[in-house]
Structure 1
């Protein structure tokens, strides 16, 4: 009913172009050849040659969709009148409606649905439905936006760059119909190839990303724009983990797992959307740069790293081909400088790109410089350059890899030819690299985040309970015992191998409260340490453990958090008492397999320490990855767990031992 209704009524239609009612009426009438259109204005009159009725009751049928554009105090009565007639769809334009949730509840109770309120409207090109402010150019990009005006900006930017809109929905306050429902509906929308999504909050976020996964499976890529203060960012603050991540980090983790690109600006959304529509999605991030200017080649190669792209050396075979083609002394490894060969023979642009892009070690090629200017500066060369543009696209097609062009003339016949042939063409190199990097996200496989719910056995609160649960999940801890008085502490000391550590098990941050003493040797020393700590902290469960004294260990942190709208995340990073100082962490959505955990660890600055630094032996990184995976799986599989933290986790050449742990359950 929100894309191709049989009939539409605009309540509050107006002949004043400065009012919402005019634009809704004009848009509705544009589809009058397809459906019945009813305009309602309390004073009657005529709008664009179409007579208005004074109330819904004057209409012979119950409109399938009603657009509400009346003052806030009138909305409730109009809705009740429409429901009495049997209306099943409402578009709420009016903002600031009193008792809006109650009105939405009445709509749902009647078996009807509401988009909005505070919506900027809806548009569907295939259904020829336009109930919005302004006009849209039909195309293949869908826009779903929590901010109506930002959605309109995306539509305008798209139009300026040759992209039309397949469907536009301003979701407004989401009092009924949700973003997740609208996104899921787009999975079967034939005219949509790419989705631009703007969200300010992630209520029901897991359903949103389930819908985005369905879109991806349907071959439709999503570009998300959001803000750092999203509701998804509400986090538990009891652990180090919570203080090390920003709200948007959680969104980023789910985006990576789902195969969604989070863009940083409307311009980036449009640049990547154009690239996706052109079909220029690279299989990876390795890029070869070819150009006719050493300076432009160098800048492109340098800036590529800023966008997460790599510029690897070309293979010997590719370099040999380029050496035979280019003047002596030309750069042929990557970047590739034509060194005047392009001006000498324009065909060399095609030959050089074809040789470079065919290298099996690269995923895409960037041609930077003067190409695209020849016909603009010398009209006699226009046809020649257009032919070369076609051949460049053919060379990329033959290699099965995308070609991107940075041209100093990025508009006009040559640029149009390149875009039409599936070659994204930009006037500056930064948006090109940003678009290429963004598009590469869509080639990476999404991860399955489903997890069977199991019931972990919690034996109580505090460290010993967490240790018991985590040990059952496969995490290794030192030998130890719970003690509650001096005699038990002394007896445990005789049974364990020193040096030993004494901990107040119930404290979450033990070092900050003097709740941990290390390096204890002998039962007398342990007894004295227990007396001193017990005298300060009082009764409770204390833990005596063997101290990990293995050489060449590195302290790490593993944490998990269950976020109210976006599920469970797992974090790994530099651990110990200076965790916040280093702020060296990587986050992903949980669960993660061992290979994904290993990839997380490889992104840390501390990875150099783990791999061996200045003659130190390498630590058991694989065992650390297995521990990260086990902890993430436990958190994801058990809905009662709100938070897990292991800090420190000591990684040495012969394995991993967790030295402290916290599990927080959901209230």
Structure 2
């Protein structure tokens, strides 16, 4: 259930616990900004009668009037007392600036968890601790140590310095912020709470998030999916794709970082735009501010220089979009506003037309955006610099910028602008009208590609009820429980002696396969013997396994018909933040070599599983490349869906895998199975395609 954060972003009154005249402390910086606003601000300092020329109180209990929100900026040793004082005084929202709690080790985490429970029990909420504060430009609330430019993007950040870098980049690129919440240690309020609140905020058009730890990842997905449904896209800058960044995040916030593979899967489910740097985040926010969507991949390149027209066209096509030649009708319409030497076929090159008639830019742009042949326009070149030639041309350029803004605002197609004069007055006019402007063409086209690729998020499917926990997960037991769940396997029996082998193998259909059990890498060690045509061959193979490996048991299995089959890996793991994660890929002994895998949050239905399979680079092998018969995709998708549902009902499973799954033209069958429980797992294990048991 969503939490009411009204008093966090729009309190009637505020208290600064730890307010001080010491200009080196947060209690000073935040108090100064708090006093700029119109709401009552109470300064709390037991050692000073005045701070910043204003009277103080020693504590909130002696204040004698209600306070909605308290900012706590005291040493960690005094933090607990400050929380108690605020709760007794009836405060319902707390912002913990203080560091030295959950990020400071086991003892600090215990103190922090105890405090968070007390705060929630009192019906209050805590932002932080170890955070930079909170801000809401729409309500005039400034409780941060630094200024952020005003705008319509909500910024939620677990790192104070990353937030400040994003704010600086935003100021350079015309991106401002409606709200800012510094997550810090997320002792109480977590990223999902803030996304939910900002998605419902009328002053917010998009939500930017920097996160190192998602606490409840499924809640984050639900919140981000709902934000996208409300037209408020979420852009996420997340760390943990590399081991060093994950260590760094854990060291300074005490965060447990989900692997990059899992975060990517979560973002796909929720329609979250995942980026790698603060610069990418701000560039994408510019593009997402466009109040319209892209209907297709047909791009018109509109330039005031032949070189830039060619470079931009190459960038667009390299990004998977099309710069298609215009029809004669559109070429004639464009030519009406340009000199005879202009390029008209796409890209459009004004060929000096800007100096002769700066008004050609909005007129040509109106023609392009009004054409059914064009889905979006990339305008590239020198626009914004013409004022350097003459005052008259400069004035005309500003007028042209206003008219471009009107054209874009009146139309229904996105326009992305790249100009070497991106900090000009003309560029500022465009940005103010929510037309994204970039310094480099690669940034402009990268942003456009991301906008074109956006789709409606499906969200994450609900988890099924938990099943009875598994206890024994050996090879044969794993096969049995998965077969009972609906996964198809070939017939098999386990034997521990020659006598059992002789007694049971005649009931199976030849040819047979022998697998030495108890060896995770049995195929590499010669522990899998294929194609045994009769009882004599089976007995000889069994004796050979005993000599070479002396396995405690052997699985005797019917050999699947692999004619026209493609070997797949189907597996997954349980992520402590996001729950079940499903992996599919090209499998068999070359899984690790090919590394062609895709992941998604589980559970998946057959439709979603089919989409995941078709997203593989090797998907043409599944659909009939170079005369191969196509595999039964429905059967393969059923295997993925069935395994994902089983795994989702068993949170005690750390890893699960069927590799290979033989997917052929007439069905799919699992040829191996492996289940590892959480208490059996190597704590350093990652979700990646490793070479496991193979046939």
Q: TM-score, normalised by structure 1?
A: 0.86
Q: Give the match's secondary structure for 1:605.
A: coil
Distance 2:674 2:87 in 1: 53
* Corresponding residue number in structure 2 for 1:48: 52
Structure-2 residue corresponding to 1:584: 596
Alignment-derived partner of residue 13 in structure 1: 19
Match of 1:58 among 47, 62, 67: 62
1:310 and 2:320 are equivalent in the alignment: yes
The range that moved more, 476-485 or 322-331, is 322-331
Q: 1:46 to 1:356 in 2, by over 3 A?
A: same
Question: What is residue 239 of structure 1 aligned with on the other side?
Answer: none
Q: Distance in 1 between matches of 2:410 and 2:641?
A: 41
Q: Which runs of 5+ in 2 are unaligned?
A: 1-6, 102-107, 247-257, 680-695
1:273 aligns with one of 285, 309, 320: 285
Contact kept, 8 Å, 2:299 with 2:377, in 1: the verdict is yes
- 1:273 CA drift (Å): 1.8
In structure 2, distance between residues paired with 1:321 and 1:299: 22
Deviation at 1:252, TM superposition (A): 0.9
1:26 aligns with 2:32: yes
Matched residues in 2 for 1:549 and 1:147: separation? 53
Q: Aligned pair in 2 of structure 1 residues 359, 622: CA closer, same or farther (>3 Å)? A: farther
State the match for 1:650 in structure 2: 662
For 1:398 and 1:65, the matched residues in 2 are separated by: 43
Shift of 1:622: 5.0
Match of 1:88 in 2: 92
Report deviation, 1:50: 1.3
Instruction: Decide whether aligned partners of structure 1 residues 51 and 513 sit closer, same or farther in structure 2, where only a CA change above 3 A counts.
Output: same
- Is 1:530 the counterpart of 2:542? The answer is yes
Query: What CA distance in whole angstroms lies between the structure 1 residues aligned with 2:402 and 2:645?
Result: 51
The separation in 2 between residues aligned to 1:347 and 1:112, in whole angstroms, is 58
Q: 1:510 to 1:203 in 2, by over 3 A?
A: farther
Contact 1:458/1:469 (CA < 8 Å) preserved in 2? no
> 1: distance between equivalents of 2:156 and 2:119?
22
Equivalent residue for 1:131? 143
* Cα deviation, residue 40, structure 1: 2.0
Query: What's the CA shift string for 1:244-286, capped at 9, x where partnerless?
Result: xx92111011001101111111122222222223425434555
Q: Is the 8 A contact 2:303 2:350 kept in 1?
A: yes
Is 1:322 matched up with 2:331?
yes
Among 551, 556, 561, which residue is 1:543 paired with?
556
Please report how far the alpha carbon of residue 320 of structure 1 lies from its aligned counterpart in structure 2 after TM superposition. 5.1
Matches of 2:495 and 2:376 in 1, distance apart? 62
Aligned residues: 650
- Distance across 2 between alignment mates of 1:457 and 1:74: 45
* Paired residues for 1:569-648 under 5 Å: 569-621=581-633, 623-639=635-651, 641-648=653-660
String of CA shifts for 1:519-573, please: whole Å, max 9, x gaps.
21111111222233356344436232224341x4332212222211012222222
Q: Distance in 2 between matches of 1:335 and 1:579?
A: 44
Contact 2:469 2:650 in 1 (8 A): no
What is the CA deviation profile of residues 355-398 of structure 1, one whole-angstrom value per residue up to 9, with x for unaligned ones? 65566676422122234444443432345445554555565567
Q: CA contact under 8 A between 2:128 and 2:187: conserved in structure 1?
A: yes
Equivalent residues in 2 for 1:252-401, closer than 5 Å: 252-279=264-291, 281-283=293-295, 287-304=299-316, 309-312=319-322, 314=324, 318=327, 321-322=330-331, 325=334, 335-337=347-349, 349=361, 353=365, 357=369, 363-382=375-394, 384-386=396-398, 388-389=400-401, 392=404, 400-401=412-413
Equivalent-residue separation in structure 2 for 1:626 and 1:560 (angstroms): 15
Kindly tell me: are residues 304 and 632 of structure 1, through their superposed partners in 2, closer, same or farther at Cα, counting changes over 3 Å? Answer: farther
Where in structure 1 are there 5+ consecutive unaligned residues?
235-245
Give the match's secondary structure for 1:577: helix
Aligned residues of 1:553 and 1:650 also touching (Cα < 8 A): yes
> Scaled by the length of structure 2, what TM-score is found?
0.83
Corresponding residue to 1:438 among 419, 438, 450: 450
The alignment status of 1:199 with 2:203, answered yes or no, reads no
Alpha-carbon distance between aligned partners in 1 of 2:633 and 2:577, rounded to the nearest angstrom: 32
Deviation at 1:416, TM superposition (A): 2.9
Secondary structure, counterpart of 1:411 in structure 2: coil
Quote the offset at 1:459 in angstroms. 10
Structure 1 residues 59, 207: closer, same or farther in 2, change over 3 A?
same
Residue of structure 2 in register with 1:466 after alignment: 478
Equivalent position of 1:117 in the other structure: 129
* Distance change (3 Å), C-alpha of 1:347 and 1:481: farther
| C-alpha separation in 2, matches of 1:335 and 1:604 | 33
Segment drifting more, 462-471 vs 210-219? 462-471
d(CA) in 2 for partners of 1:444, 1:379: 47
The offset of 1:200, in angstroms, is 1.1
- Return the offset for 1:38: 1.6
